Amino acid sequence: MGRLYIIPTPIGNLKDISLRALEILQEVDLILAEDTRKSGILLKHFDIKPPLSPHHKFNEHREVEKICGQIESGKNIALITDAGTPGISDPGFLLVRTCIEQGIDVETLPGATAFIPALVNSGLPCDRFCFEGFLPQKKGRMKRLKKLENEERTMVFYESPHRILKLIDQLIDIFGGQRKASLSRELTKIHEENVRGSLVELSAKLKDAQPRGEYVIVVAGKSGDR
């Protein structure tokens, strides 16, 4: 029987990929990629040549049993996403769970993910935190935020540039404008930016600029905003 490898890929700077990740990607029989075009750029850069196959939220449910069958027949397969660690706000959970249920070995490598550097960079307590990822775009969004109103741990969210200002204003409505927070974007890239302040201050800064790139928002918990 083969094995499933979960391989984190750089969130920006290509030098952030590990030597072990490169070694495994060179040796596996198949690489599953969220977007084969984007991953193809990374693999070409490092002269990695195993075949690529798409694995994303639109096909993962119908492909998972087929993939497990390939691993059971002896193939070693690696899963990567566009950037970061598979399963963290990206496809991966379903495949990992199914492999575990079928007795297939899963090996997950440590590596890049956007929320850890953003959390540490925020200057907010990071000994205890909760990761919320992307909130629902419409239905259930405010309900989810209201459940966090009394959360004492530092909170971490992901958001697109198109909805970032809306999210900040919603956080102000729930947590109050003086709650401490941090915004990070373009992490590990040339134009990396980390902005810290109250939610009101962050809202004002966003209104003065054109939001670009996906954001990581780190918000102080109720006990950590003093």
Dig out the tokens for 103 from the structure: 């007795």
Among 108, 129, 149, the domain boundary falls at 108
Say whether both 65 and 123 belong to one domain.
no
For position 224, what pLDDT does the model report? 53
Say whether both 121 and 200 belong to one domain.
yes
CATH number of the domain that residue 190 is part of = 3.30.950.10
φ, ψ of residue 213 to 5 degrees: the values are: 80, 155
Say whether both 131 and 150 belong to one domain.
yes
Say whether both 100 and 184 belong to one domain.
no
- Domain count along the chain: 2
H or E segment and range at residue 181: strand 180-185
Range of 154's domain?
115-224
CB 217 within 8 A of CB 195: no
Among 61, 84, 108, the domain boundary falls at 108
CATH number of the domain that residue 17 is part of = 3.40.1010.10
pTM value is 0.91
Dig out the tokens for 13 from the structure: 């700077």
For position 226, what pLDDT does the model report? 45
For position 210, what pLDDT does the model report? 79
Among 77, 108, 139, the domain boundary falls at 108
* Letter string b/e over residues 95-134, b meaning 16 or more CB atoms within 10 A of that residue's CB: bbebbeeeebebebeebbbbbbbbbebbebeeeebebbee
Say whether both 101 and 140 belong to one domain.
no
23-82 tens-digit pLDDT: 999 999 999 999 999 999 999 999 999 999 999 999 999 999 999 999 999 999 999 999
Dig out the tokens for 148 from the structure: 């966090």
102-130 tens-digit pLDDT: 999 999 999 999 999 999 999 999 999 99
